[in-house]
């Protein structure tokens, strides 16, 4: 095929796509350019299918240092482990393109998106999504849809489509919507706090306003994806016909399970714990195989497992759609039982054990100074950036009863931690000058562990006495639909996530949404369904927030919590606090065991210590120093004699305390007419001495003795 170059202008973006120019041995490749940003997206497929019924898709978004005219820092001068932004972007692309593949596609696919040239003004996540979509659509893989991504911002009351990065800095909303045609496939959203005239504003988004903004996004996506399909049509390769995995159906076996094991499957489904359910279903499977062997029929374990799984899924969905009853007996809009304990760890600054049903998160908060911030680089930034609020999510195998060793955090862990951070950060004080780290240890998991992290994290911040504007709760919503009827589920557990059609995570305060993440398994979601999910999520969120508020009443402060205070001072008092040679401030630090930071720009003193008593004592000491009236230096009469006192004797002279309390130097050459070699033989510290002022320039005073003049 000949080289194709396509220019697309849509939604405030001008993009250039180059096809059949590079990476020609790949199944599909595109050289994408927007502004000065250049990305190469290449997709490769393994023609040997896997045995399992799933799509083995791997997405790799890679930023090269040379793209920003940089050499990698550190000892090894080449790119190594991907950064958090690369990992999160890979995850976003994966979640967006996965629904485009046909049902039964089980061939390993690797999509690599490489940033070859960076542009600080270009949204790299939108660029990566569009490059990936173009490479996939024009490849020889059986994908016949393009997707489009739009990022929406909000400045004051104006909604912006694909705002510039400079506009994003002033935006109170960060909403990324990915879709194909009229279908929304993926949503990532968070709000940004802003400082008003009086106080900080969290800027939560109300549900109805969110729906209005989604309408804007859908129109923009439909327009863009239609344009892509038309413009890329000529560059599309001939499709390789690959055999798709068909569901191995055995209608006779399915009917046999339905007629003989309906009650057993129903009881297994309604087993509370995930491990219990798994064990019960294994017992049912073994019973089915034993029964088949007794009848002299072949009992293929793989087919039996598949038919049992299919019947189990139909039972779960039928209970919900037909009876509006869930596997654990809850109503559709019912939240599982919640239990909260705070500050259970004596040596930790703040902690919360948050339990919701069979999901349990132990979240800890640790406070540090600005030096404890996490340094990181972005390809479009010339200088290192610092993360002063971190949320780290850990998911050990024992939380789901699996015997597997601990490993480094994967994409899922990074994604859940990032969602927790985006949900909580808008409520934190923007003027913080320290660092806060939240760590969520998932001790038990049966759905919605990331939302338990948000709830426990909000309370852990309160337990550590971090200044936050409001409590934040998170809730995961699900959906089951047969095409005609739909049921929205509040606070889904693992079974409902697995057998349902949507995973919709929402965090927010009592006033609105702070962050959101949505993945659709259906290929799209109707506006009325989304509206139902949002309003039902609000009810559940408010229910959880009420329980969290009750926990605040019983919260006891942690004994390990450091204390700090910041107060204003007059700039003229700073020398008194520091003292000569730093002696006074060292004395305060040693006496009370505190750290003292003086901000000369804002005339503030910050004291941090291990206890409120130490901090209070140091503050009281400083206030005593600063309560004394500020001494003002006298204007001396030249050639007039004054009475002074010897404060210090040095090799080159003596420091004399003047009548106004200020010190002045009496040089050795001005003590007498004749040369004096050793002042210590004539004078003692503390002696009174008469001196004459020869000259005064500001604070500098030149002295001599009467003997020098005579």
Instruction: Please name which of 425, 639, 455 lies closest in space to residue 545, comparing C-alpha atoms.
Output: 455
Name the CATH superfamily for 338-553: GHMP Kinase, N-terminal domain (3.30.230.70)
- The reported pLDDT for the residue numbered 632 is 67
Using one digit for the tens of pLDDT, what is the confidence trace for 390-425? 999 999 999 988 888 988 888 999 999 999 999 999
pLDDT at 73 over 90: no
First to last CA, the chain: 108
Computed from CA positions of residues 281, 287, 289, 295, in that sequence, does the dihedral angle turn out positive or negative? Answer: negative
Using one digit for the tens of pLDDT, what is the confidence trace for 650-664? 888 888 888 887 788
Which range (88-102, 119-133, 625-639) has the least confidence? 625-639
503 is in an annotated binding site: yes
Query: pLDDT over 70 for what percent of the chain?
Result: 97
Question: Cβ of 265: how many Cβ atoms within 10 Å?
Answer: 20
Taking the C-alpha atoms of residue 636 and residue 638, their distance in angstroms, rounded to an integer, is 6
Which range (318-327, 353-362, 437-446, 509-518) has the least confidence? 318-327
Alpha helices in 177-326 (DSSP H): 207-231, 251-260, 262-269, 274-294, 301-323
Question: Of 2.40.50.140, 3.30.70.1150, 3.40.50.2300, 2.60.40.1220, which CATH number belongs to 641-709?
Answer: 2.40.50.140
Show me where the domains of the chain are located.
Answer: 4-235, 251-323, 338-553, 563-627, 641-709
Using one digit for the tens of pLDDT, what is the confidence trace for 567-602? 888 877 888 888 878 888 888 888 888 888 888 878
pLDDT at 295 over 70: yes
Cα 650 from chain centroid (whole Å): 59
- The reported pLDDT for the residue numbered 595 is 87
Taking the C-alpha atoms of residue 331 and residue 536, their distance in angstroms, rounded to an integer, is 12
Mean pLDDT of all residues belonging to the chain: 89
- The reported pLDDT for the residue numbered 443 is 96
Taking the C-alpha atoms of residue 333 and residue 339, their distance in angstroms, rounded to an integer, is 19
pLDDT at 349 over 90: yes
- The pLDDT-based confidence of 631 (bands split at 50, 70, 90) is low
CATH topology match: 4-235 vs 641-709: no
* 563-627 carries CATH number 3.30.460.80: no
Instruction: Please name which of 501, 436, 511, 422 lies closest in space to residue 467, comparing C-alpha atoms.
Output: 436
* Coil, strand or helix at 487: strand
482 is in an annotated binding site: no
Name the CATH superfamily for 4-235: GHMP Kinase, N-terminal domain (3.30.230.70)
The predicted model gives 364-386 an average pLDDT of 85
pLDDT at 197 over 60: no
pLDDT at 39 over 80: yes
Question: Of 2.60.40, 1.10.10, 1.10.575, 2.30.29, which CATH number belongs to 251-323?
Answer: 1.10.10
Using one digit for the tens of pLDDT, what is the confidence trace for 519-548? 876 666 777 888 899 999 999 999 999 999
Instruction: Please name which of 412, 391, 376 lies closest in space to residue 91, comparing C-alpha atoms.
Output: 412
Taking the C-alpha atoms of residue 43 and residue 58, their distance in angstroms, rounded to an integer, is 10
Taking the C-alpha atoms of residue 267 and residue 328, their distance in angstroms, rounded to an integer, is 10
């Amino acid at each position: 095929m000949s080289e194709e170059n396509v220019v697309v202008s849509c939604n405030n973006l001008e993009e250039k796509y180059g096809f059949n120019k590079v990476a020609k041995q790949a199944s599909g490749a595109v050289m994408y350019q927007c502004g000065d940003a250049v990305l190469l997206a290449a997709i490769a497929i393994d023609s040997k299918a896997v045995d399992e019924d799933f799509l083995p898709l791997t997405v790799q978004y890679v930023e090269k240092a040379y793209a920003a005219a940089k050499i990698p820092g550190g000892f090894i001068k080449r790119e190594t482990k991907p950064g958090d932004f690369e990992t999160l972007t890979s995850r976003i692309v994966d979640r967006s393109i996965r629904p485009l593949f046909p049902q039964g596609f089980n061939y390993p696919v690797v999509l690599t998106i490489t940033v070859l040239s960076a542009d600080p003004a270009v949204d790299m996540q939108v660029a990566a999504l569009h490059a990936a979509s173009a490479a996939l659509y024009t490849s020889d893989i059986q994908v016949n849809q393009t997707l489009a991504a739009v990022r929406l911002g909000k400045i004051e009351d104006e909604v912006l489509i694909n705002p510039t990065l400079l506009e994003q800095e002033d935006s109170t909303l960060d909403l990324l919507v990915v879709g194909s045609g009229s279908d929304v496939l993926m949503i990532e959203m968070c709000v940004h706090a802003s400082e008003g005239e009086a106080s900080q504003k969290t800027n939560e988004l109300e549900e109805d306003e969110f729906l209005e903004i989604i309408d804007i996004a859908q129109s923009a996506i439909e327009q863009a994806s239609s344009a892509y399909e038309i413009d890329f049509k000529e560059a599309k390769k001939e499709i390789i016909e690959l055999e798709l995995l068909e569901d191995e159906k055995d209608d006779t076996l399915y009917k046999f399970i339905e007629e003989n094991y309906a009650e057993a499957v129903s009881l297994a489904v309604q087993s509370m714990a995930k491990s219990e359910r798994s064990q019960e279903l294994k017992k049912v499977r073994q019973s089915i195989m034993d029964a088949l062997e007794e009848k002299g029929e072949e009992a293929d374990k793989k087919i039996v497992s598949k038919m049992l799984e299919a019947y189990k899924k139909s039972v779960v969905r039928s209970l919900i759609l037909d009876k509006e009853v869930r596997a654990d007996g809850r109503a559709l809009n019912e939240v599982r039982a919640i239990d909260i304990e705070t500050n259970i760890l004596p040596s930790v600054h703040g902690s919360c054990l948050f339990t919701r049903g069979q999901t349990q998160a132990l979240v800890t908060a640790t406070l540090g100074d600005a030096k404890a911030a996490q340094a990181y680089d972005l390809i479009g930034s010339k200088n290192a950036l610092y993360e002063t609020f971190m949320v780290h999510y850990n998911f050990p195998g024992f939380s789901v009863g699996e015997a597997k060793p601990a490993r480094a955090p994967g994409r899922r862990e990074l994604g859940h931690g990032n969602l927790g951070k985006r949900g909580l950060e808008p409520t934190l004080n923007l003027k913080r000058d320290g660092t806060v780290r939240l760590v969520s240890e998932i001790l038990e998991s049966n759905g919605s562990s990331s939302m338990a992290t948000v709830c426990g994290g909000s309370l852990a911040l309160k337990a550590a006495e971090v200044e936050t504007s409001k409590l934040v709760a998170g809730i995961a919503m699900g959906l089951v639909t047969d095409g005609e009827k739909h049921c929205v589920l509040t606070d889904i557990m693992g079974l409902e996530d697995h057998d349902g059609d949507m995973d919709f995570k929402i965090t927010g305060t009592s006033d609105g949404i702070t962050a959101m993440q949505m993945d659709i398994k259906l290929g799209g979601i109707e506006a009325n369904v989304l509206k139902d999910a949002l309003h039902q999520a609000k009810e559940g969120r408010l229910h959880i927030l009420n329980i969290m508020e009750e926990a605040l009443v019983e919260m006891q402060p942690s004994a390990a919590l450091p204390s700090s205070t910041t107060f204003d001072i007059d700039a003229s008092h700073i020398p008194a606090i520091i003292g000569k040679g730093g002696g006074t401030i060292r004395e305060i630090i040693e006496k009370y065991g505190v750290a003292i930071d003086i901000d000369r720009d804002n005339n503030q003193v910050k004291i941090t210590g291990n206890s409120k008593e130490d901090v209070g004592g140091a503050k009281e000491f400083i206030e005593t120093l600063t309560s004394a009236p500020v001494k003002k230096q006298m204007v001396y009469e030249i050639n007039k004699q004054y009475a002074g006192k010897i404060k210090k004797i040095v090799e080159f002279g003596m420091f004399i305390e003047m009548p106004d309390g200020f010190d002045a130097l009496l040089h050795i050459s001005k003590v007498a007419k004749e040369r004096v070699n050793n002042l210590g033989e004539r004078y003692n510290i503390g002696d009174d001495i008469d001196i004459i002022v020869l000259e005064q320039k500001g604070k500098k005073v030149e002295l001599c003795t009467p003997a020098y003049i005579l």
